[in-house]
Amino acid sequence: MKRVLIWLAVSLALMSGAYLSVKSLSQDLEAQTAADRCGETYAQLSIFYTETARFYVRDIQGLKTLINKQLSTNGTKRPWMYCLSGSGSLFVKGDKGAYNLKMLAVDGDYFYFHPMKLRSGSYISGDDLMKDRVVLNVEAAWLLTGAIDIEGLTVNIGGKPYIVAGVVESETGSFYKKAGSGEAMIIVPNSVFMGTANCLELLLPEEAEGFSEGIAKSIISFYGGALLDNSRRYTYKNLWVILKSLNKSSVLTGGFDLPYWENAARMSENCAALCFGVMLTACTSALISILTFLILLRKFIRRRKKLEQKNAQ
């Protein structure tokens, strides 16, 4: 019976540790927690596009009209957000030299979805009237200028000057680093440098279960793409699905060009699925231990009663 109690304690410890690990992983990547930061019931969704079939910045107004119409039809007046992003490389010249940097071309409220810590200056936004400002990460700022506090300085791209709006820290953590975070990067207005995006992110009011997903599916019917519900990424139901097909869960077939934060999230959810598997195994082990303990306890009580009856005679 002592061994059973020890095994029960070990199982409960493993179950608690695995539960806390899943909880920690679900909050570890800020790019996956936009809905949680709203304070109301919202859903965060992503739509990914292929290298040959991308979302065009010129379609943003049509996107806004489509979403506003559906929200209005359902009597919803709550605000919503979006951001677009596309990746590539860009040759940038600064005071300390010229380098081919990793480029992220964005539009909309990108820095709400991806709240990279500011080291100096400010962010850029899709609402900026002038599209001549850029953001550097710390690594790029050091390469180009040898400093971080460089708000207002200019860098040269294609023979034209662009103002440095701010400098941000790269996302930290093992998953981000494995996905490519930490490389020297410049963040630029999408409409100027690309005009297309491989990722559309949405933050929509979730008036009822599946409400925001229905809007996202209507967007896909117009503009194509593959849908992901970020808000459900770390639910036990989704982790169970991933656990059953762990060798395939990180792969999105069809030539989709995933951004680095999505690759980081897929590594994270794989890890969370493994922790969930440990939690299920430990839970099963704990239940078996409890049942075994109860059976042994019952047998012990019976033997004791028989012994007491025998002694009484």
Give the tens place of pLDDT for each residue, 83-130: 999 999 999 999 999 999 999 999 999 999 999 999 999 999 999 999
Q: What percent of the chain has pLDDT over 70?
A: 95
The pLDDT tens digits of the residues spanning 169-200 come to 999 989 998 988 889 999 999 989 888 999 99
- How far apart, in whole angstroms, are the C-alpha atoms of residue 148 and residue 269? 34
Q: What is the pLDDT of residue 252?
A: 57
Segment 141-167 shows an average pLDDT of 96
**Cβ neighbours, 10 Å, residue 174:** 12
The pLDDT tens digits of the residues spanning 230-267 come to 999 999 999 999 998 876 655 555 677 889 999 999 99
Segment 6-17 shows an average pLDDT of 88
pTM of the model: 0.87
- How far apart, in whole angstroms, are the C-alpha atoms of residue 107 and residue 200? 10
Q: What is the pLDDT of residue 147?
A: 96
Mean pLDDT for all residues in the chain? 90
